[in-house]
């Protein structure tokens, strides 16, 4: 029974469990420690560990930056998840400018899809709000509305021209109506008046 628990039997067991080279040399015990059983640990059983060294490479030219601009999602500077204000109800609709040539003759090729719409109309319900309390910021793809009680961060379905937008507050209905001009490439070819 002593031979089962001896140091040499544990060393032989460790040697069997290791991924040893093809040649079986009983005299070559370089991988197994030759000292007593106390020197063997669970880490000494199994394949030999290879030391790996890894280096961290900074891709950015500026060493003070924490992340690369490519890693930041677009428009994430507007995300405000810890703001306790509630989100107001809103409705998005699309508006087309049509004339008799569109309605009766179909000469311009417009259809009722959103791809042929020129404007986005957003109606936001703001109960118990005064016009002076509204802060509205329009970017190319984001509408950011803030009041003392409400907050709306809306990612727009199409890029818009923020300089051509208009807003009006209907105080009787407590609705802010924002009309934004859709900015798509080649719209001057599709919707020209000539």
User: Is residue 110 pLDDT above 50, yes or no?
Assistant: yes
Predicted pLDDT at 96: 80
Kindly report, residue by residue over 121-162, the tens digit of the pLDDT.
999 999 989 989 999 999 889 999 999 999 999 999 889 988
Which pTM value belongs to this model? Answer: 0.54
Residue-level pLDDT at 189: 52
Strands (E), 62-174: 90-95, 119-125, 135-138, 142-146, 151-155, 160-170
Numbers of helices and strands, H then E, in the chain: 3, 7
Choices 3.40.50.300, 3.20.190.10, 3.40.50.80, 2.60.40.790: CATH for 90-191: 2.60.40.790
pLDDT in tens, 44-76: 777 776 666 655 454 556 667 777 777 766 655
- The secondary structure element, H or E, covering residue 53 is none
Burial class (CB within 10 angstroms; exposed 0-12, middle 13-18, buried 19+) of 165: middle
């Amino acid at each position: 029974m002593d031979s089962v628990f001896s140091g040499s039997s544990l060393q032989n067991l460790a040697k069997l469990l290791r991924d040893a080279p093809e040649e079986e040399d009983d005299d070559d015990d370089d991988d197994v420690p030759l000292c007593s059983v106390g020197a063997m640990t669970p880490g000494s059983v199994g394949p030999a560990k290879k030391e790996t060294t890894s280096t961290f490479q900074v891709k950015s030219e500026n060493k003070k930056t924490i992340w690369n601009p490519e890693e930041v999602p677009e428009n994430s500077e507007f995300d405000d998840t810890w703001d306790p204000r509630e989100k107001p109800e809103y409705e998005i609709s699309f508006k087309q400018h049509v004339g008799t040539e569109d309605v009766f003759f179909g000469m311009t090729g417009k259809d009722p899809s959103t791809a042929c719409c020129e404007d986005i109309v957003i109606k936001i319900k703001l109960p118990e709000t005064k016009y002076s309390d509204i802060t509205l910021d329009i970017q190319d793809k984001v509408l950011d509305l803030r009041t003392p009680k409400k907050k709306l961060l809306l990612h727009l379905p199409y890029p818009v021209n923020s300089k051509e937008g208009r807003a009006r507050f209907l105080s009787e209905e407590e609705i802010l109506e924002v009309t934004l001009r859709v900015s798509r490439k080649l719209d001057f070819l599709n919707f020209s008046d000539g």
